[in-house]
Amino acid sequence: MKLEKSELTGNKTVQISGSKSISNRLLILESLFKNIPIGNLSNSQDTQLLKKALAENTDTVDIHHAGTAMRFLTSYYSIMEGKTTILTGSKRMKERPIKNLVNALKDLGAEIEYLENEGFPPLKITGKKITQSQVHVPANISSQFITSLLLIAGKLENGLAIHLVGEVTSRSYIEMTLDILTRFGIQNSFEGNTIKVEPFDTKKASTPVHYEVESDWSSASYFYSICALGRKMIHLKSFYKKSTQGDSAIAGIYENFFGIKTIFSEEEHTITLEPQPDFSFPEKIVLDMNNCPDIAQTLCVTAAALKIPFEISGLGTLRVKETDRLQALYNELKKLGTETEITDLTIKSVSFGEPQKDISIATYQDHRMAMSFAPFCLIGELTIEDDNVVEKSYPMFWEDLSGILTS
């Protein structure tokens, strides 16, 4: 898709679909406990794939590129007594490690086999009754591995205590999961490095718990970037001031570094992104994004477009996402004239030059690469390769983008 050099049309409103992260958690809980009416469910491809997998009683489940579905369903099928499931995915999915989650489940008594390469999908999962209630896992693994265990914990007759070993990564996503469990009536605690989840009280199972899904803050991040570059007001729906989503940190980050103030309307669940006039941009952005790594790409592109030096740490999980996101950023930021250095945990700018002519951004089958680079069209024209990758998390992104830009 070619994006012409554009200007931001001010004072437009965008309705963003429900959070993929929250929706996927709720779908697993709804399937296990059968009493969660869900409103504003995400329309993302990932969520639809998970919904389809849970609705179909098949022996082989292919979740394609949906990493969240792979992790959540691994635990889910492990407790489906008497059912054997082959859980597989795309070529890239078969390259994404899942050993830490499988090891934890095996320690609890689950029966899981690797069908191709040790430590990677596809998996053969034979559902069993799990009675063990204590497990130790590395604290720096993907929060989705930990959430996968937490989502089934209330279904285990003895509950579950997860002992996290080391420094916790993406703590905010774990806390989001625990908040959802609490709202559903599953008692839990997170003290020190130990998370405890009590068995669900079946007496409460007949009481429906309606859950209206907040819109997705990671999807909102691209509009923060657009606002930072276009310097005009944007309204977004439906968002809450007291959000449990880790990516809601985008509001504070963009106010501090780019002068984009977030104004909440509690009654309408709308946020207004308002550029502050005469804002003085920082000499350098230094930030640990350990708790919100999914918005790092957006931040890097915004900083590169404005030629603000940056040094971002806490990005260890980006190497094993839909693509190696740190390497992808290194490659594609060059096209914007930004040279960077990367390690396994960090990315920092080295120099800023002129953008290439005829910029064409490779997306590496990664939805966030497409959407994080799209706001650069406010600086100059560019082409986004394989633009349909946005279907994974935000199918309406290009329509919503075109609705607030003029070329």
Please return the burial class of 142, using the count of CB atoms within 10 Å of its CB with bins 0-12, 13-18 and 19+.
buried
4: left (phi over 0), alpha (psi -120 to 50) or beta: beta
Give the single-character DSSP code of 247: G
Q: Which of 46, 247, 294, 387 is catalytic?
A: 294
pLDDT at 204: 60
pLDDT digits (tens, 9 = 90+) for 201-214: 766 655 667 888 99
Least confident range of 12-16, 38-42, 74-78, 206-210: 206-210
Is the pLDDT score of 371 beyond 80? yes
User: What average pLDDT does this structure show over 301-328?
Assistant: 90
Rounded distance between C-alpha atoms, residue 291 and residue 257, angstroms: 18
User: What average pLDDT does this structure show over 57-73?
Assistant: 93
Scan for tokens 């509690």, then name that residue: 266
Is the pLDDT score of 268 beyond 60? yes
Residue 310's φ and ψ, nearest 5 degrees, are -140, 150
Is the pLDDT score of 324 beyond 80? yes
User: What average pLDDT does this structure show over 38-67?
Assistant: 91
Order of strands, sheet of 285-288, starting from the edge strand that comes earlier in the sequence: 285-288, 310-313, 347-352, 338-342
Degrees, nearest 5: CA angle 35-39-45: 105
pLDDT at 112: 98
Q: Residue 250: CA atoms inside 13 Å, Cβ hemisphere, count?
A: 30
pLDDT digits (tens, 9 = 90+) for 132-161: 999 999 988 888 999 999 999 999 999 999
Rounded distance between C-alpha atoms, residue 337 and residue 305, angstroms: 9
Contact 386, 398 (CB under 8 A): no
Q: Is the peptide bond before 122 cis (omega within 30 degrees of 0)?
A: yes
pLDDT at 24: 96
User: What average pLDDT does this structure show over 221-247?
Assistant: 94
Residue 46 annotated to the active site: no
pLDDT at 298: 98
Cα–chain center distance at 387: 19
- 3-class SS of residue 288: strand
What crossing angle do the helices spanning 67-78 and 99-108 adopt, rounded to 10°?
Answer: 10
Q: Residue 237: CA atoms inside 13 Å, Cβ hemisphere, count?
A: 9
Please return the burial class of 206, using the count of CB atoms within 10 Å of its CB with bins 0-12, 13-18 and 19+.
exposed
pLDDT at 173: 86
Scan for tokens 């996101």, then name that residue: 325
122: left (phi over 0), alpha (psi -120 to 50) or beta: beta
pLDDT at 191: 94
User: What average pLDDT does this structure show over 345-363?
Assistant: 96
pLDDT digits (tens, 9 = 90+) for 167-194: 887 788 899 999 999 988 899 999 999 9
Degrees, nearest 5: CA angle 81-111-99: 130
Rounded distance between C-alpha atoms, residue 296 and residue 312, angstroms: 8
